């Protein structure tokens, strides 16, 4: 390919035009700056005494900006003009160009919003990365591309300070479009003739570009407000993305620019009229102390009731809502992250938002049944289970219920699906709804719509039980006593005029030890007695209240109080066990009969009192449920009494009650089928002799 060289005359012409425009812009900037300095010099006599005259910050600013354009070329170019087509396309490049422009700004001193406008010379020149042609020759391409640019912008000062952001369009009018192309020689043949450089103009250049720019700057004042003419120096940086910056109408060459520079701006402020001094007549204010009453309420704390340790059965049923095969929301479902911290003995940390009934702590344990099961299966990898879903709609619907539980255990706990099998049936093995029944069928069907968890793995099951019908291993719940709010010491401040901004309390014991609490803003504050007494069981204290009034002075009040420490129980004296009965049955199943004899009875010691209370759910008549609950209590008492007599335990006292469906004494609510299932129970409390 033969490359043609442009004549030097044309090149000099382009450079001359470029230089003339640049000189004109620089001269305009110098003249504008000189005018501002001249104005500043003329005003010097007025600003010699800044204490007499003050000026506002200007709203209009005029000046000049200069900076460097860091240009980044992307895309490709190969046909430079109609005469020059290079053998290998150029793709990427960089360069630094000059930017200089006069400017005008408008922004009020007390406003965040403003306007900016700059118009000047904008150099976008650069050099493409060297490429190697098919003849193994290095090729270079540099550009001298420049524009006259118009850049109006919105100005935003987020903190009403010197920091500002700006953004707006950019209109660029082509000024120079020169390139220099250098075709090197193959280094293998150094004796070959050197091809002259080609300097010419690009063709198909767009005469106008419409793009955008966004930037930030910071105004640094050079003069004080005592001057009418004020000046600021503003370093700035701006980003011009490649959108709209394709310089040619052919090929894919585009330019991205980062501009960094500095602007010098001048403005004139308006004179601030000095306020007229008025004679101040002193006013004598007499402050009267507000009426304040300070009292201390110190309760006579006593040791709490004994801690109860309860062995709570986990019914191996998951009840489903009618018409749904999804696990009900009242059951507590964990995420994969929650599984890492779940512990069976800390169930309170995973509470349901929908727990109902009087014994929330126990229902939380049951509603964690799937998490308890999943944790036990993870800890015991050899265990397997069968999930049997029972649905009034048929086996297919029942199996879908079972699959919902399987998906939760495999997806959340990562249990291998081969360890869990599912089945579906129409009725559970022990149904509540019997043929020919006509009363309360909806409640009975709710109880029969469930998934039973069956297993032959002993580690999952209740002690000494086996077989598919065995209940899951129970959980232990210890009722840890915390200091109740009513045991706290209470400080009362009655401030009728609401004069205090805050107040604090200081306690001093008989040895002079002082503790301070506060500051407080409310009228009544409760503090645990332990915060004052620490480990001392009781003591006499002087209590001083110090209040800070809104006008500044403080007010103090003193009183005395005898404070007694609230103490939790020291020993576990009561154990509780629950025996679950089937619907409308008063005989314990064989599994629970064995549990009473082999687990509960050995816990009964000489001289203990065994309290046996029987309960029912709300299904059925009141009179029948009363008889049924007493029959259940007598059934459990008979099994225990027989077992105790065999062990030789002496002095055991039994207290038997049948409480029926009484809503005031029922262990749980009767809203859901699982609550009704747990209400079909006998609760056994073993109180050891002190």
Distance, CA of 562 to CA of 668 (rounded, Å):
41
Minimal CA–CA distance to 581: which of 689, 471, 672, 464?
471
By DSSP bridging, strand 420-425 and strand 554-564 are unpaired
Helix (H, G, I), strand (E, B) or coil at 641: helix
Q: Tell me the pLDDT tens digit for each residue of 69-115.
A: 999 999 999 999 999 999 999 999 999 999 999 999 999 887 899 99
Decide if pLDDT at 142 tops 60: yes
Distance, CA of 315 to CA of 311 (rounded, Å):
13
By DSSP bridging, strand 292-297 and strand 489-495 are antiparallel
Q: Counting Cβ atoms within 10 Å, is residue 440 exposed (0-12), middle (13-18) or buried (19+)? A: middle
Q: Tell me the pLDDT tens digit for each residue of 556-569.
A: 888 888 888 877 66
Contacts of 329 (CB under 8 A, 6+ apart): 354
- Which part of the chain is CATH 3.30.1330.60? 312-473, 581-687
Q: Counting Cβ atoms within 10 Å, is residue 239 exposed (0-12), middle (13-18) or buried (19+)? A: middle
Largest CA distance in the chain: 128
Distance, CA of 494 to CA of 294 (rounded, Å):
6
Distance, CA of 81 to CA of 143 (rounded, Å):
13
Minimal CA–CA distance to 681: which of 583, 595, 609?
583
pTM of the full structure: 0.44
Report the length, in residues, of the chain: 690
Domain 581-687 grouped into CATH 3.20.80.10: no
Q: Tell me the pLDDT tens digit for each residue of 581-614.
A: 888 787 766 778 888 888 888 888 888 999 999 9
Question: Quick one: average pLDDT of 452-468?
Answer: 77
Most confident of 150-164, 184-198, 475-489: 150-164
Number of helices (H) and strands (E), helices first, in the chain?
10, 33
Most confident of 162-171, 434-443, 556-565, 595-604: 162-171
Beta bridge partners of 151: 118
In whole angstroms, how far apart are CA 36 and each of 31, 221, 571?
9, 15, 91
pLDDT band at 503 (very low <50, low <70, confident <90, very high): confident
DSSP H or E run through 447: helix 441-448
pLDDT band at 44 (very low <50, low <70, confident <90, very high): very low
- Which part of the chain is CATH 2.60.40.10? 292-301+483-564
Q: 223 is written with which tokens?
A: 């003069």
In whole angstroms, how far apart are CA 328 and each of 355, 359, 370, 674?
12, 20, 12, 12
Contact criterion met (CB below 8 Å) for 472 and 316: yes
Distance, CA of 389 to CA of 449 (rounded, Å):
8
Distance, CA of 667 to CA of 654 (rounded, Å):
20
Cα angle at 673 between 669 and 674, to 5 degrees? 75
pLDDT band at 308 (very low <50, low <70, confident <90, very high): low
Distance, CA of 392 to CA of 288 (rounded, Å):
80
Distance, CA of 459 to CA of 462 (rounded, Å):
8
Decide if pLDDT at 1 tops 60: no
Q: Which residues of 244-262 are buried (b: 16+ CB within 10 A; e: fewer)?
A: bbbbbeebebbbebebebe
Contact criterion met (CB below 8 Å) for 564 and 532: no
Q: Give 466-472's long-range contacts (Cβ < 8 A, gap of 24+).
A: 468/386, 469/429, 469/589, 469/591, 470/316, 470/591, 471/313, 471/314, 471/315, 471/316, 471/580, 471/591, 472/314, 472/315, 472/316, 472/369, 472/372, 472/373
Residue owning tokens 């046909």 = 79
Q: What is the pLDDT of residue 498?
A: 66
Q: 257 is written with which tokens?
A: 């620019």
Question: Quick one: average pLDDT of 406-424?
Answer: 94
pLDDT band at 264 (very low <50, low <70, confident <90, very high): very high
Decide if pLDDT at 51 tops 80: no
CATH topology of domain 292-301+483-564: Immunoglobulin-like (2.60.40)
CATH topology of domain 312-473: 60s Ribosomal Protein L30; Chain: A; (3.30.1330)
Question: Quick one: average pLDDT of 238-246?
Answer: 94
Reported as half-sphere exposure (CB side, CA atoms, 13 A), residue 506 has a value of: 11
Q: 151 is written with which tokens?
A: 């850049």
DSSP H or E run through 212: strand 208-218
């Amino acid at each position: 390919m033969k490359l043609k060289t442009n004549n030097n005359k044309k090149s000099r012409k382009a450079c001359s035009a470029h230089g003339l425009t640049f000189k004109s812009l620089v001269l305009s900037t110098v003249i504008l700056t000189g005018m501002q300095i001249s104005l500043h010099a003329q005003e010097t006599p007025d600003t010699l005494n800044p204490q007499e005259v003050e000026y506002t910050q200007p709203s209009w600013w005029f000046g000049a900006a200069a900076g460097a354009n860091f240009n980044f070329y992307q895309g490709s170019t190969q046909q430079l003009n109609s005469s020059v087509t290079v053998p290998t396309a150029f793709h990427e490049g960089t360069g630094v160009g000059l930017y200089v422009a006069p400017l005008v700004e408008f922004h009020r001193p007390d406003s965040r919003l403003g306007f900016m406008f700059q118009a000047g010379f904008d150099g976008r020149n650069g050099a493409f990365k060297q490429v190697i042609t098919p003849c193994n020759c290095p090729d270079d391409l540099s550009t001298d591309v420049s524009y006259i640019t118009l850049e109006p912008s919105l100005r935003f000062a987020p903190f009403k300070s010197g920091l500002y952001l700006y953004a707006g369009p950019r209109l660029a009018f082509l000024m120079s479009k020169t390139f220099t192309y250098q075709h090197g020689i193959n280094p293998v043949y150094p004796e070959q003739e050197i091809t002259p450089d080609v300097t010419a103009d690009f063709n198909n250049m767009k005469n106008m570009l419409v793009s955008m720019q966004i930037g930030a700057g910071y105004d640094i004042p050079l003069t004080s407000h005592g001057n009418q003419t004020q000046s600021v120096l503003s370093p700035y940086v701006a980003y011009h993305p490649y959108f709209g910056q394709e310089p040619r109408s052919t090929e894919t060459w585009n330019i991205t620019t980062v501009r960094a520079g500095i602007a010098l701006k001048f403005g004139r402020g308006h004179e601030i009229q000095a306020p007229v001094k008025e004679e101040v007549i002193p006013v004598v204010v007499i402050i009267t102390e507000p009426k304040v009453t300070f009292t201390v309420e110190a309760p006579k704390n006593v040791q709490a009731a004994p801690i109860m340790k309860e062995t709570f059965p986990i019914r191996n049923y998951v009840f489903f809502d009618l018409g749904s095969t999804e696990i009900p929301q009242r059951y507590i479902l964990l995420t994969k992250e929650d599984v890492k911290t779940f512990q069976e003995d800390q169930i309170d940390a995973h509470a349901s938002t929908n727990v109902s009934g009087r014994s929330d702590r126990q229902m939380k344990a049951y509603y964690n049944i799937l998490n308890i099961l999943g944790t036990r299966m993870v800890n015991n990898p050899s265990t397997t289970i069968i999930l049997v879903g029972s649905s009034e709609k048929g086996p297919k619907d029942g199996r879908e219920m079972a699959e919902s539980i399987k998906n939760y255990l495999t997806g959340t706990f990562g249990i291998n699906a081969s360890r869990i099998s599912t089945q579906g049936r129409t009725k559970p093995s022990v149904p509540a709804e019997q043929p020919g029944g006509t009363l309360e069928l909806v409640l009975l069907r709710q109880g029969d719509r469930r998934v039973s968890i069956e297993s032959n793995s002993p580690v999952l099951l209740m002690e000494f039980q086996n077989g598919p019908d065995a209940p899951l291993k129970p959980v232990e719940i210890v009722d840890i006593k915390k200091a109740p709010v009513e045991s706290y010491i209470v400080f009362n401040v009655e401030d009728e005029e609401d004069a205090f901004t805050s107040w604090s309390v200081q306690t001093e014991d008989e040895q002079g030890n002082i503790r301070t609490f506060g500051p407080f803003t409310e009228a009544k504050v409760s503090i645990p007695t332990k915060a004052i007494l620490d480990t001392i069981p009781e003591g006499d204290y002087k209590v001083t209240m110090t209040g800070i009034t809104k006008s500044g002075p403080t007010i103090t009040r003193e009183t005395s109080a005898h404070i007694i420490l609230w103490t939790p129980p020291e020993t576990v004296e009561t154990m509780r066990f629950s025996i679950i009965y089937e619907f409308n049955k008063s005989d314990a199943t064989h599994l629970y009969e064995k549990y009473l004899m082999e687990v509960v009875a050995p816990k009964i010691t000489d001289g203990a009192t065994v309290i046996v209370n029987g309960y029912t759910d709300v299904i059925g008549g009141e009179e029948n449920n009363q008889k049924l609950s007493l029959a259940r209590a007598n059934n459990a008492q008979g099994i225990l009494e027989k077992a105790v007599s065999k062990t030789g335990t002496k002095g055991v006292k039994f207290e038997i009650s049948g409480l029926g469906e009484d809503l005031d004494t029922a262990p749980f609510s009767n809203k859901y089928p699982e609550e009704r299932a747990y209400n079909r129970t006998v609760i056994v409390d073993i109180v050891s002799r002190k």
